[in-house]
Structure 1
Amino acid sequence: MSLRDISGVMGISKGNRTYHFKRKEDIIEAIIDDMSGRYRPPAVPQSLGEMNALFRHLQTMIKDNAFYFWHHAQLAQLSPKIREQQKKVYQTNTKLFREALVS
């Protein structure tokens, strides 16, 4: 998909798109930045039922954001910013699961 195609789908001029996003990578970073900004880690599960609910929640997130997870490794290679965002999510989730399994 070309940047011209993206501008057409968005219904904006190439110049307007270029003002905000010069490269495809800039668009991808903005989407992932928005996703990361809206991510709120759930509370630490206190029971098996809550742990099951957490796993179901994570499965839903993966399904709803399949475009991201299909290309997860490539996105990290594409952009240091994306790699850092992924690292923060890993650290948050690792802490969540550790706390759930220790308590």
Structure 2
Amino acid sequence: MNDDEYQLLARAASVCHMSVANFLARSALNAARDLDRTAAEIAGEREALHELFALRRHLGQIGNNLNQVARAANSGADVPYADAVLKAVHRTARRVDEFTQRYLDTETRPL
């Protein structure tokens, strides 16, 4: 495993509040219990996880921006960028809704 792969595992384990060893063990056991899954299903899950991690990072950035807007507004300062931050919140909420709907559509598709 190269450094980039290890960092990917470390981030995933951290998000799950697990050690890398625990994350790897649970992942391996889950894979061993379900050997009938296709590569396409696994790839679909990987894409879903990447999207979820990207959304989580993006929401964290927006949360920081919202905190800055609130801090400035509470201090009486002019907050000309508040509209841009709120638009980012709405865009991200739409992105979450679209992802969720896409995920639900693929999970409920008949075999």
Question: Which structure has the higher relative contact order (CA within 8 Å, separation 6+)?
Answer: 1
Larger Rg, first or second structure (1 or 2): 2
**TM-score, normalised on structure 2?**
0.34
**TM-score, normalised on structure 1?**
0.36
